[in-house]
């Protein structure tokens, strides 16, 4: 798939109308995030929140918000060799609205595609192709899931496990609890409750543990200053880092390093 244009989480007010009486001109993927009205080949349909559609280039279509806003991820693309057969093999329907139940994971992939596409660095076309391969496989899995509630639970559990792995891999990149909850598409309190229920510890306990583990590794294997170690572990305040380190290990960073 050759990406022509892509947009992540675009939001429009209710006066927004996309009207293409002669089709959109090339294949278009939409992840629909608000209740919407679609007129496809002259027939009106109601699209539920968290729906998907693949529009063919020449299919007459018109769509707009059903309530206050219309929000979607969108991707225009061109088929490359073998792509059309791949869509058929994966049973991806065309010009048909499909309720998926949960589109969080697919939307995150779309965000990555949008970022890579806008970056325009060397090899970006190949990277976006790989992202779209993953997108199609994940989409096909959801299309085959008849129990949407079960799919939502499985998908959310998978995303929590991915988040925890990321916390321990990149603790310096972890933002606040509110940002993590927003990325998951749930409230702050629900996010904290679900995380602790799944892993037995709070999310901030894991963040602190991951940062302290990273700090001990850097102190043991590098000549970085305490300030540099603090920065590489996600701390903006050196003294706050030193206090946290001593609470965790019973020693200051300097004392810890001197005993190695």
Distance CA 228, CA 223 (A): 10
Which of 144, 162, 180 is the last residue before a domain boundary?
Answer: 144
* Stretch 9-17: mean pLDDT: 91
- Give the full edge-to-edge strand order of the sheet including 43-47: 17-20, 61-65, 36-40, 43-47
* Stretch 171-185: mean pLDDT: 86
Which of 117, 144, 171 is the last residue before a domain boundary?
Answer: 144
Same domain membership, residue 183 and residue 130: no
Instruction: Tokens 């791949």: give the residue.
Output: 86
Which residue range is the domain that position 16 belongs to?
Answer: 2-144
Same domain membership, residue 23 and residue 105: yes
For residue 179, pLDDT beyond 60: yes
For residue 148, pLDDT beyond 60: no
CB 184 within 8 A of CB 159: yes
200-218 pLDDT per residue, tens:
999 999 999 999 999 999 9
Same domain membership, residue 139 and residue 41: yes
* Stretch 63-75: mean pLDDT: 94
**Non-local CB neighbours of 240 within 8 Å, separated by 6+ positions:** none
For residue 150, pLDDT beyond 70: no
Query: What CATH number did the domain enclosing 253 receive?
Result: 1.10.10.60
Rounded to 5 degrees, φ, ψ at 73 are -105, 140
Same domain membership, residue 119 and residue 151: no
26-44 pLDDT per residue, tens:
999 999 999 999 999 999 9
Same domain membership, residue 196 and residue 222: yes
Same domain membership, residue 181 and residue 83: no
* pLDDT for residue 155: 62
Same domain membership, residue 139 and residue 33: yes
* Stretch 124-131: mean pLDDT: 90
Total of domains in the chain: 2
Same domain membership, residue 192 and residue 65: no
Same domain membership, residue 152 and residue 140: no
């Amino acid at each position: 798939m050759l990406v022509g244009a892509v947009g992540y989480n675009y939001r429009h007010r209710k006066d927004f109308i996309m009207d293409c009486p002669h089709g959109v001109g090339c294949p278009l993927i939409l992840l629909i995030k608000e209740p919407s009205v679609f007129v496809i080949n002259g027939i009106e349909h109601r699209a539920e929140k968290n729906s998907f559609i693949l529009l063919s280039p020449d299919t007459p279509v018109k769509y707009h918000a059903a309530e206050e806003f219309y929000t979607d991820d969108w991707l225009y693309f061109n088929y490359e060799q073998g792509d059309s057969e791949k869509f058929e093999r994966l049973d991806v329907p065309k010009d048909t609205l499909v309720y998926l139940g949960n589109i969080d994971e697919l939307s995150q992939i779309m965000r990555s595609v949008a970022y890579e596409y806008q970056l325009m660095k060397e090899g970006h076309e190949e990277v976006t192709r790989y992202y779209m391969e993953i997108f199609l496989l994940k989409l096909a899995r959801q299309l085959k899931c008849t129990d949407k509630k079960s799919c939502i639970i499985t998908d959310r559990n998978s995303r929590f496990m991915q988040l925890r792995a990321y916390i321990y891999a990149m603790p310096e990149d972890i933002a606040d609890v509110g940002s993590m909850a927003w990325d998951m598409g749930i409230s702050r309190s629900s996010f904290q409750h679900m995380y602790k229920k799944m892993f037995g510890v709070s999310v901030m306990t894991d963040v602190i543990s991951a940062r302290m583990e990273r700090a001990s590794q850097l102190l043991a294997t590098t000549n970085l200053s305490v300030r540099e170690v603090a920065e590489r572990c996600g701390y903006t305040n050196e003294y706050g880092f030193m206090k946290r380190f001593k609470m965790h290990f019973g020693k200051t960073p300097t004392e810890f390093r001197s005993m190695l």
